[in-house]
Amino acid sequence: MAVSKVIDLIGNSTVSWEDAARNALTGAGKSLHGITDLEIVQYTAKVVDNEIIEYRALVRMAFVVD
């Protein structure tokens, strides 16, 4: 029987929310193994002078515990 752990992470990007979510997955994959699921929980952005300068994606990620 496998045991999974769920964590929340925030990815960021200057390109898009999709890229921000992908960056969260890529970053997590450097230290976590066995990632099985990713849920986009929330999208936010940093705004300066009425322009989005940074896209942020809050993601919930599940991975198998060794």
Q: Where are the domains of the chain?
A: 4-64
pLDDT level of residue 52 (50, 70, 90 thresholds): very high
| 39: its two tokens | 């849920």
Average pLDDT over residues 17-40: 96
Q: What is the pLDDT of residue 11?
A: 98
CATH of domain 4-64: 3.30.1660.10
Give the tens place of pLDDT for each residue, 32-47: 999 999 999 999 999 9
Record the pTM: 0.88
Residue 1 has pLDDT above 80, yes or no: no
